[in-house]
Amino acid sequence: MGFLTSFFAVWFYIATLILIGGVAYKIYTYATTPSPLKIPTMPAPLNSTGVALRLGTEVGLFASLFRSNKWIWLFGIIFHVALLLVILRHIRYFIDPVWTWVVLIQPFGKYAGFAMVVGLLGLLARRIIVERIRYISQPSDYLILILLLIIGASGLMTTFLAHTDVVQFKAFTLGLLTFNWQPLPIDRTLLVHLTAVNLLMMIFPFSKLIHAIGIFFSPTRNQVDNSREKRHLAPWAKAQFESTHPSPSPQTTN
Amino acid sequence: MASNVEFKIPALRPYPEIPALQPDAMQSKGPFVAKPVMQTPLGFPGELVENWQEKAIEKMGELLKKYRSLQVYLDSCVKCGACTDKCHYFIGTQDPKNMPVARQDLLRQVYRRYMTLSGKVVPKWVGAKDLTREVLDDWYNYYHQCSQCRRCSVFCPYGIDTAEISMAAREIMDCIGLGQKYCNEIIGKVYKIGNNLGLPEPALADTLNGLEEDVKLDTGVDVKFPLDQEGVEVLLVTPSADFFAEPHIDGLIGYAKVFHQAGISWTLSSYASEAGNFGMFIGSYDNMRRISQRIRKAALDLKVKRIVFGECGHAWRVAYSFLNTLAGPFDFLDPKYPVPQHICEFTYDLIQRKALRLDKTANDQRRVTFHDSCNVARASRMGTIPGGQFIIPRAVIKASCNHYYDMPADTIHDQTFCCGGGGGLLTDDLIELRIKGALPRMEALKYVIDHHGVTHMAAICAICKSQFTKVLPYYGFEMDKIVSVHQLVSNAIVL
Ligand code: SF4
Ligand code: SF4
């Protein structure tokens, strides 16, 4: 077993653990932090079905962003939809035999890589060109885009330019899952691709990429508008103010 | 007036476009700082404590555990820039730190530095910064340039609400002894006297008597303005501005006439003689709760069956969204009615039931538009369907006037622009900000004036009304263009 195979195998395990552990920790933090007050951005849905719909249009269609800025929406949606297709396509490397639907989306997934790069370039261009967005951008904002671009470009190269030995690569990925390591095809583009993906997984829980989780916990988007019907007391507020008698006498004024 | 100010009044642009950045355009020391006597009654240290850095970080950590909004919003912003052109203060001042995301970043940079891995390891990469005196000064200045209007939250793909961040920042500053004079002094008055204006009971009783006489002279009818009357149907809680100045007071007259014609007994309370709740502006759950409890006590003491709120924007947010949580349960009130009700809901119900006689022609000399107050529009509701807060006030206006015209669609409903004076900024030491922040609303108003000959803009918020009265002249409009919605009702009602 070559050094690179072991190195990437171990790194992949570590990156996956960090990703899963980090995301789980974030979800735990968000889920256990109370929202002590009702703050949905109105008009808001009156029941949880409505909330599911609202979140659905936000996550699936970027509804608020569409109202807000058509260019960011366009590049954003191109990138995210393409990324989704690309990720789904990659399932084929981790299962055998490959599920039919994964086979069916394969052609779309392959070309989605281009759309992904186009979306990213659009976002990067706006970040550089639009004065307001440049002002709010930190090095990490550029670096994350560049990292994603590297992933997209190197992925496209392994598919369309410097063909990687996919069969051997699949043996490697399946081996990772069964803890029965197989040699990784030594191909520079592929190594760049894997390096970037591992890095992305590792920074995901600790960077703004966590927005993918945050949206589901955003009180302005996930709360039901029913404050007049139901009280919405957080545990800490209850403990602090209402632990002794349920409806305390008001403070006196003079 | 407009001539003796030392800054430039923004020009009304025919086609509003996104302005270029002018870094530090609004760099300043911020509004007047609260004196120790204003801080202590609210439970805050009198002046900046010695170890303020440590205390501020500690408080931030505490708030992160208490408010999911803060935790999620500090983490989730992707710097997409969608919100950058949505704040009226940015549009009016061009100061990049008034872009909502940049305003959030003032707190986020410190959060990252002290509470996140990346900010501890590679601060420069992620824009993390130590909490220095400069940063604190920026906090004080720019978190008092946010009216907590939530317009940015409508447009953010994750609903990030800069108002939540501003409130947290103000709470942190209060807790280290750096409070804002305007808000904290007013809260003190509420505790001591019962209302924001510091109007004591005898003065209030006097005012109300005077109003009864005025209305009698005007209409020949005995319309009552009851104070502290036990056992009546409705407790009316209204902003104290309604007792004090035009055009607010005309709105109060309108409410009284509506109660009179409907034959529903009502009272004001001298103990809870204020609807506004500035505890929200300073992000203080404790103070907001304490202020809310007055209303509960007044309702109990006066043995009323319903609570109705007068025309006030932020007050309605606290009333609609928080009152039940902070001071409930209100199981001692009549369960047939929502608690609390907005005066517009109340009047609208009567109109629906044909219980009011309104003669629209009485307002025929007026061509009216409606300014959706930010906190009514984006932080509350009226009626039973989402968006009722847009429909009901307009329906009340249209039942009272023949000529009604909306301002452009991207400046009303949930896209409405703040008046420029909300969120604890309605103070003369922030007049430059207030004038500049009013720009988008003034442009929208200009549009309906030019296209529809609009003569008056109606509003349902004490802050909006005061703010417009003050800033309209700077833009070349008469100050009495701003009217109360119930002022229109008052004119139209046939007693
Ligand atoms: S809440 Fe309103 S005032 Fe504050 S940043 Fe957002 S848009 Fe501006
Ligand atoms: S719209 Fe939301 S995510 Fe985008 S920059 Fe503004 S606050 Fe951040």
Instruction: Give contacts of A214 with chain B, Cβ < 8 Å.
Output: 72-73, 75-76, 158
Give B15 or B422, the one with higher predicted confidence. Answer: B422
Between the CA of A154 and the centroid of ligand 2 the distance, in Å, is 29
Using 50, 70 and 90 to split pLDDT, how confident is the model at A252?
very low
Nearest by CB to A43, from B67, B160, B387: name it: B387
- The verdict on residue B23 lying in a domain is no
Instruction: Decide if A17 is inside a domain.
Output: yes
Domain count, chain A: 1
Residue finishing a domain among B179, B207, B226: B179
Q: Report how far Cα B394 is from the mean position of its chain's Cα atoms.
A: 19
The last residue of one of the domains, among B156, B179, B202, is B179
| CATH number of A136's domain | 1.20.950.20
Domain with B128 in it = 36-179
In chain B, the number of structural domains is 2
**Closest C-alpha to B292, from B257, B267, B326:** B326
pLDDT at A253: 38
Q: What percent of chain B has a predicted confidence (pLDDT) above 70?
A: 99
**Residue B68 and residue B192 share a domain:** no
**pLDDT at res. A2:** 87
Q: B425 in ligand 1 pocket by Cβ < 6 Å?
A: no
Select from B85, B320, B389 the Cβ nearest to the Cβ of A227.
B320
Chain B's closest residue to A44, CA to CA, is B386
Q: What's the gap in Å between B249 CA and the centre of ligand 1?
A: 29
- What rounded mean pLDDT belongs to chain B? 96
Residue A251 lies in a domain: no
Same domain, B158 and B217: no
Considering the domain architecture, whether residues B405 and B470 belong to the same structural domain is answered as yes
Which amino acids bring their CB within 6 angstroms of ligand 2?
A: B 77-83, 100-101, 156-158, 160
Asked whether B92 and B440 are in contact (CB, 8 A), the reply is: yes
Residue-by-residue DSSP string for B388-401: HHHHHHHHHHHHH-
Does residue B207 share a domain with residue B135?
A: no
Quote the minimal CA–CA distance from A224 to chain B in Å. 11
Regarding whether B440 and B316 lie in a shared domain, the answer is yes
Q: Residue B17 Cα, ligand 1 centroid: separation in angstroms?
A: 18
Confidence at residue B15, expressed as pLDDT on a 0 to 100 scale: 80
3-state secondary structure of B369: strand
Per-residue pLDDT at B408 exceeds 70: yes
A236 vs chain B: nearest CA distance in angstroms? Answer: 7
Interface touch B68/A35, C-beta < 8 Å: yes
Q: Give the mean pLDDT of A29-38.
A: 97
Indicate whether B329 and B475 sit together in one domain. yes
Ligand 2 atom closest to the Cα of residue A68 is: 1
- Shortest distance between the Cα of B195 and any Cα of chain A, in A, equals 11
**Would you call B320 and A228 a contact, using CB atoms and an 8 Å cutoff?**
yes
For residue B5, the model assigns a pLDDT of 65
Alpha-carbon dihedral B183, B185, B188, B189, rounded to 10 degrees: -100
In this structure, are B212 and B325 located in the same domain? yes
Put simply, the answer to whether A133 touches B81 (Cβ < 8 Å) is: yes
Atom of ligand 1 nearest to the CA of B423: 3
Domain boundary residue, one of B149, B179, B209: B179
Instruction: Say if residue A251's pLDDT is above 60.
Output: no
Residue among A136, A141, A214 whose CB faces B72 most closely: A214
Interchain proximity B81–A69, CB inside 8 Å: yes
* CA distance linking residue B2 with residue B126, whole number of Å: 44
Could you tell me how many CB contacts below 8 A there are between chain A and chain B? 231
Question: Predicted confidence band at A244 (pLDDT cuts at 50, 70, 90)?
Answer: low
Asked if residue B292 is part of any domain, the answer here is yes
Cβ separation A43–B381 shorter than 8 A: yes
pTM of the model: 0.95
- Ligand 1, atom nearest to B374 Cα: 2
pLDDT tens-place string over residues B116-169: 999 999 999 999 999 999 999 999 999 999 999 999 999 999 999 999 999 999
One domain for residues B392 and B300: yes
- Return d(Cα B420, Cα A76) in angstroms, integer: 32
| CB atoms near residue A226 (< 10 Å) | 17
Q: Which domain holds residue A198?
A: 3-244
Torsion angle in degrees (nearest 10) through CA of B282, B288, B294, B295: 110
> Per-residue pLDDT tens for A71-125?
999 999 999 999 999 999 999 999 989 999 999 999 999 899 999 999 999 999 9
Mapped onto helix, strand or coil, the DSSP state of residue B490 is helix
Rg (CA), chain B: 22
Domain match, B289 and B408 both: yes
CA distance B58 to B6: 40
Q: Residues A130-183: pLDDT tens digits? A: 999 999 999 999 999 999 999 999 999 998 988 889 999 999 999 999 999 999
Residues of chain A in contact with residue B77, where contact means CB-CB under 8 angstroms, are 208, 211
Q: Domain holding B84: CATH number?
A: 1.10.1060
CB count in 10 Å sphere of residue B307:
24
Instruction: Please report the atom of ligand 2 found closest to the CA of residue B73.
Output: 7
The tens digit of pLDDT for each residue in B49-88 reads 999 999 999 999 999 999 999 999 999 999 999 999 999 9
Test mutation, B112, B325, B334, chain A, max A CBs within 10 A: B325
pLDDT of B340 above 50: yes
**B239/B352 same-domain check:** yes
Question: Which of B80, B82, B161 minimises the CB distance to A220?
Answer: B161
Q: How far is A49 from chain B (nearest CA, A)?
A: 14
- Residue B4: per-residue pLDDT: 54
- Are residues B111 and B131 part of one domain? yes
Nearest atom in ligand 1 to B99's CA: 5
- Residue A250 has what pLDDT? 44
Chain B interface disruption, residue of A220, A221, A242, most B CBs within 10 A:
A220
Interface test with B, best of A42, A131, A141, A222 (most B CBs within 10 A): A42
Which residues 124-153 of A have a C-beta within 8 angstroms of B?
126-127, 130-133, 135-141, 143
Could you tell me the pLDDT band of residue B186, with boundaries at 50, 70 and 90?
very high
Q: What percent of chain A has pLDDT over 90?
A: 91
Contact assignment for B76 to A208 by CB distance below 8 Å: yes
With CB atoms and an 8 Å threshold, state whether A72 touches B339. no
Residue B7 lies in a domain: no
